[in-house]
Amino acid sequence: MKAFFIDRYGKNTGRLRELPEPEVGVKDVLVQVHATSINLLDSKIRTGEFKPILPYALPLILGNDLAGVVVRVGSGVQHFRPGDEVYSRPSQERIGSFAELICVSEDALALKPKNLTMEQAASIPLVALTAWQVLVETANLKPGQKVLIHAGSGGVGTIAIQLAKQLGAFVATTTSTANVQWVKALGADLVIDYKTHRFENELRDFDVVLNSLGADDLEKSIKVLKPGGQLISISGPPTPDFADEQKLSWPLKQVMRLLSSRIRRNARKAGIRYAFVFMRASGAQLREVTALIEAGLIKPVIDKSFAFESIPEALRYVEKGRSKGKVVVVISPPPAAGEVAGGVTSSI
Residues of the chain with pLDDT under 70: 333-348
Residue type, 307: A
Annotate 103-115 with DSSP letters as a single string: EEEGGGEEEPPTT
Q: Strand, coil or helix: what is 217?
A: helix
Domains of the chain: 2-123+302-343 (3.90.180.10), 126-276 (3.40.50.720)
Q: What count of other Cβ atoms lies within 10 Å of the Cβ of residue 251? A: 10
Question: What is the pLDDT, as a whole number, of residue 343?
Answer: 38
- How many CA atoms lie less than 13 Å away from 162 in the CB half-sphere? 23
Q: Strand, coil or helix: what is 114?
A: coil
Question: What is the pLDDT, as a whole number, of residue 340?
Answer: 44
For the entire predicted model, the pTM comes to 0.94
Question: What is the pLDDT, as a whole number, of residue 165?
Answer: 98
Determine the Cα–Cα distance for residues 105 and 27; give it in Å rounded to an integer: 6
Question: What is the pLDDT, as a whole number, of residue 97?
Answer: 98
Annotate 296-316 with DSSP letters as a single string: TSS---EEEEEEGGGHHHHHH
Give the residues across from 33 on adjacent strands.
Answer: 68
Question: What is the pLDDT, as a whole number, of residue 321?
Answer: 87
Q: Are 331 and 121 in contact (CB under 8 A)?
A: no
Question: What is the pLDDT, as a whole number, of residue 55?
Answer: 85
Give the residues across from 105 on adjacent strands.
Answer: 28
Determine the Cα–Cα distance for residues 267 and 261; give it in Å rounded to an integer: 10
Residue type, 88: S
